[in-house]
Amino acid sequence: MKTYERSENQQKIIQGMNKVYENLLTYKKRLNSELVVLKDDKIVRVKP
């Protein structure tokens, strides 16, 4: 299996996306609203 090395820009993008995801979860918990995700090809609503 091939190992793939990410560039510095790719690592920054991934770190930024992780931060956005964390902020989204915090926001949804604060407003007590549902989080809509795709799981096993089905749309699922998750309460925080």
- 3-40, pLDDT tens digit by residue? 889 999 999 999 999 999 999 999 999 999 999 999 99
Q: What is the DSSP letter of 25?
A: H
Q: For residue 29, is it within any domain?
A: yes
Q: For residue 41, is it within any domain?
A: yes
- Residues 47, 20: Cα–Cα separation, whole Å: 19
pTM of the model: 0.72
Cα angle 46, 24, 22 (rounded to 5 degrees) comes to 105
Q: For residue 3, is it within any domain?
A: no
pLDDT for 24: 94
Q: For residue 22, is it within any domain?
A: yes
pLDDT for 28: 94
If one counts the domains in the chain, the total is 1
Q: Write out the residue range of the structural domain in which residue 13 sits.
A: 8-46
Q: For residue 1, is it within any domain?
A: no
pLDDT for 3: 83
pLDDT for 34: 94
